[in-house]
Structure 1
Amino acid sequence: MDAIAGRKPAVVWALNISVVALVALWLFPTLGLLVSSFRTGDQITASGWWSSFLPAEQTIQLRVADPDDARVDLGNGRFMVEGNIFDGQDFEGELRSWATSSRDLGAFQPGDVNDLGDGETLTVQADGAYVWEGDDDQISGRAQRVFLDVTTPPDFTLDNYSFVLFDEDNSEGMAKAFMNTLTVVIPATIIPILIAAFAAYALAWMDFPGRALLIAIIVGLLVVPLQLALIPLLSLHNAIGIGKGYLGTWLAHTGFGLPLAIYLLRNYMVGLPRDIIENAKVDGATDFQIFTKIILPLSFPALASFAIFQFLWTWNDLLVALVFLIDATGETTVMTKQIVELLGTRGGDWEILATSAFVSIAVPLAVFFAMQKYLVRGLLAGSVK
């Protein structure tokens, strides 16, 4: 017993470390997505989300004013262009160094004079003020390009959410996709629970021929990839006239979710006290009365646990929606498909994609945190007698 007691703290530490590691693996990507949704595209490109609360160093490329419009004649064939290189730029930060060639970044400090050759010079001050001087041929044509090494303070914005949720060109599509997703998810979560609850009770407490074989088949169906059934199931839907629509999607999600639902609920119901069921039968209760008045209330943790899984799976699903739901008009587009379309049209705007993704996972997160206390109880169903 002493040896066992001596090992217990190590086991506890290992368990705690494992739990912390799993939580971190789940939390960090979500936190990164949240932080990125409040950043600009330039910031996301320049630095990772973990450094978003610190000043960021980046190199930006700007040009001085158009020499044909802004040059001043100094006489003796000399011309000058002056101004501020940050004019028209939404810039808040500090200029650390600058250069006129991408091969020699940071070559000059603010206030240094860069001799461009043949008497042509350029000077850039710390506040962005510049003076570009040269002869008639030099101060003409294309404006001089300048590479600036700057340090920018942390910057967070709500513009991304404003675009995704309220922009006229995008908000209508996101709002419709949100409602379409709810239209898919709610029935696709409730229907398999109703069917699986009846089936689980029958497999747990009713004796009939072939029960053990049915349980073995259900366990075997847990490992069958849904991709194998997509095309045959779609052919069946087309043959019976369902085609692509909400009904076919609900039935598909129901069929794919039933094996786990029945297995989970059956394990939980088997662990319920036998005396309660036997006493109810002695008092004359029917199987339906036992199921509705005793089994269902006691099985709420398992029901809630499966509801969490099914809700998350159907909300985040793209494959089933593409096969059984999406039409050419886009009237039934779900959130995952809407984000894919946004990726196709705005592939470089990572801040918009991060915002759209976080808007999409906000509802599943709320459902998970509201019902997480039932999750472990449901997952451990039947594991301890």
Structure 2
Amino acid sequence: MDNIAGQKSTLTWVVHISVAVLVALWLFPTVGLFVSSFRTTDQIVTGGWWKALFPAEQNLTIRANGPDDQKQVNDLYVIEGQLFDDGSEAEISSWGISSRDINAFQPSETAELRRGGTITVDTIGNYRIENTVAFEGARGPRVFVTALTPPEFTLANYKHVLFSGTASDSMGAAFMATLTVTIPATIIPILVAAFAAYALAWMDFPGRALLIAFVVGLLVVPLQLALIPLLKLHLNIGIGKSYLGVWLAHTGFGLPLAIYLLRNYMVGLPRDIIENARVDGATEFQIFTKIILPLSFPALASFAIFQFLWTWNDLLVAKVFLIDATGQTTVMTNRIVEMLGTRGGDWEILATAAFVSISVPLVVFFSMQRYLVRGLLAGSVK
């Protein structure tokens, strides 16, 4: 009774719910990464990205103006200023002058400074420091503030990620280096694999079955197992630590899967089309270029997407096979690691750099995904 017209079976609902859950699991982290890329360090520490649109209570440490800004008013030496120089509309709930008791005073109360004088802080961050003698020293006192800050979004993270560093050591240079690695490393294995897949699928020659078995066996060879021998080979023939070396490395690591997928797809193409072309006098090259390649475009596009993603997000192969003119590996994944440092701080920089890194793969995927579902074989055989 589950298949009555107008009703959906239980299995259909399970599939829909599963798809919705998978989409949510992918979408939520991406949205969180995007929102966090526009937030400040203090906001990220205070709360999750889902709280970005609401005021948040933060503990801030702010340095007041120093003796260079003091003015003499009658018999007093006065330093005045605003704790929130960025024009923030934060509302202070408590404050202090010692890290041991950051909530010692309420707004508009006065505190005694250890070096002499008093300081008064109001609700919106205006402060006044007074003393009967001139202030001395190089810096002003620290003020510890607990404040309710409004939502704040900034482009400073993107400015830091994209334009910090020298011209040869910036994210822009790493972006171009990653494109230089990724585009040829995607095109070369597809071209080679397409020829090989056609030969293994439609051409009869001795040892074809052994070659197919060899390709399948290469699928299970660990990438790490081949890194050092391949690097030694590249160094011996003079292409080590160069773009050509990393292109050939990605080609070698991607070819087994590419040949296997394309061969399985080409075997399923209608035999009548190919046999009719041969009867009409078409050569193998003409059959390949005029018939097989257009019909195999969905498979070629799907592998191109995966190969592009693998190469774009790669760090290991680039670390081993690529060093640029400055002696550094400047692909984006390595640049992100360098920007974070060894302590793993600056989460806002990590979020921004990660979102910049995934923007190109997202564009590639959404621009080519329609080819995955296009029925190019529809109507090809009557």
TM above 0.5:
yes
Q: TM-score range by the shorter chain?
A: 0.7 to 0.9
Looking at structure 2, the residues matched to 100 and 174 of structure 1 have their Cα atoms a distance apart, in angstroms, of 40
Instruction: Give 2:284's aligned amino acid.
Output: D
Instruction: Give the 3 Å change call, closer, same or farther, for CA 339–316 of structure 1 in structure 2.
Output: same
2:274 and 2:287 in contact (8 A); partners too: yes
Residue in 2 that maps onto 1:382: none
Deviation at 1:93, TM superposition (A): 1.4
Partner of 1:14: 14
Given that residues 56 and 154 in structure 1 are in contact (C-alpha distance below 8 angstroms), is that contact kept between their aligned partners in structure 2? yes
- Which residue does 1:244 correspond to in 2? 241
Distance of aligned partners of 1:333 and 1:47 in 2 relative to their CA distance in 1, 3 Å threshold: same
Task: Work out which of the residue numbers 313, 319, 322 in structure 2 matches 1:322.
Answer: 319
Q: Identify the match of residue 126 of structure 2 among 124, 129, 136.
A: 129
Letter in 2 for 1:184: V
TM normalised by structure 1 equals 0.83
Label 1:267 to 1:356 Cα distance change in 2 as closer, same or farther (>3 A): same
**After superposition, where does 1:288-307 map in structure 2 within 5 Å?**
288-307=285-304
Mapping for residues 148-167 of structure 1, pairs under 5 Å:
148-166=145-163
Choose from 91, 96, 99 the match for 1:99. Answer: 96
Distance 1:143 1:173 in 2: 35
Q: Is the 8 A contact 2:163 2:170 kept in 1?
A: no
Q: Paired residue for 2:183?
A: 186
* Structure 1 residue 214: Cα displacement: 2.3
The answer for unaligned runs of 5 or more in structure 1 is 379-385
State which of 252, 255, 258 in structure 2 corresponds to 1:255.
252
Q: List, as ranges, runs of 4+ consecutive aligned residues in structure 1 with deviation greater than 6 Å.
A: 3-8, 71-75, 133-137, 139-142
Cα pair distance change 1:68/1:315, threshold 3 Å: closer
Which of 223, 232, 235 pairs up with 1:235?
232
Q: CA RMSD in A?
A: 3.5
2:380 is matched with none
- CA–CA distance in 2 between the matches of 1:303 and 1:175? 30
Normalised TM-score (structure 2): 0.83
Q: Any conservation in 2 of the 1:218–1:259 contact (CA below 8 Å)? A: yes
Query: Once the two structures are superposed, what CA deviation does each residue of 1:260-289 show, in whole Å capped at 9, x if it has no partner?
Result: 111111111111112212222222222222
Unaligned runs of 5+ in 2: 376-382
Percent of aligned pairs with the same residue? 69
The residue that corresponds to 1:222 in the other structure is: 219
Q: Residues of 2 paired with 1:11 and 1:272: CA distance?
A: 31
The corresponding residue for 2:46 is: 46
1:156 Cα offset (Å): 1.3
Change (3 A) 1:140 1:89: farther
- The whole-number CA distance in structure 2 between the counterparts of 1:170 and 1:50 is 36
Code of the aligned partner of 1:48: G
Cα deviation digits, residues 99-143 of structure 1 (max 9, x gap): 3444444344323455889x9865432122345678879x87785
Displacement of 1:229 in angstroms is: 0.4
In the alignment, is residue 198 of structure 1 matched against residue 203 of structure 2? no
